[in-house]
Chain A
């Protein structure tokens, strides 16, 4: 148990629709990252939020957006869904620090299927 939860576990949408995925961080972790993992590949970094601000972004278009709330929980929003957006979406909570404190723990993921 990592203490990171995600909802929903599975979701089916059609092309062009919008989707919101949710994540609750591990207690004490003020940083949340979102990843997209296509079948057979490693997780790809979408973006990271720290104290409710985006402070890092991977190579994803603006239709991928996010929010972080004062309790450090987070949302990932994807607009105008495309077939290639079908993937496992992973949330990871982190407490950045110096030395041996910087670790990242993943939630169980949300499986998104776009038809």
Chain B
């Protein structure tokens, strides 16, 4: 299956700092979704993107659909302890039947 690469794999930051992470693919996607997952729980949808170049915000979170349609970025401003978790990107393939998930970025916020 298609593999989405996320970077960085893990981040350790001070509370209040901004965070940037990205997701790249060898294939074009028509929809990008960003999720946050806490241990032992299901992923929670943060932001959905549908058009190349689209920039969408959800509170302190901002995500962008890359213009090549092969990448996406997620930024978190002024991080707080509850931002701790694993962030996944997911892209919708050509058939529209399958979302492919990234490898995840683990975020640790140090108070």
Contacts and interface: CB of A to CB of B under 8 A. Distances in A.
Interface stretch (B13-21, B37-45, B69-77): B37-45
Interface in A44-86: 44-45, 48, 55-56, 58-59
Contacts of A106: 35, 42-45
Interface in A69-115: 88, 90, 92, 96, 99-100, 102-109, 111
B31 A44 contact: no
Given A33-B99, A45-B98, A45-B100, A99 B42 contact: no
Contacts, number: 66
Contact of B50 (A2, A55, A100): A100
A106 B35 CA distance: 10
Nearest to A31: B97
A42 interface: yes
A105 B99 CA distance: 12
Interface residues of A, number: 29
B66 interface: no
Given A42-B88, A45-B1, A58-B1, A104 B99 contact: yes
Interface string B77-98: 0000000000010101001111
Nearest to B3: A42
Interface in B56-70: none
Given A59-B1, A102-B31, A109-B42, 20 more contacts: A4-B42, A42-B102, A42-B103, A43-B43, A43-B88, A44-B1, A45-B99, A45-B101, A48-B98, A96-B96, A102-B48, A102-B50, A102-B92, A104-B33, A104-B45, A104-B90, A106-B42, A106-B44, A109-B40, A111-B40
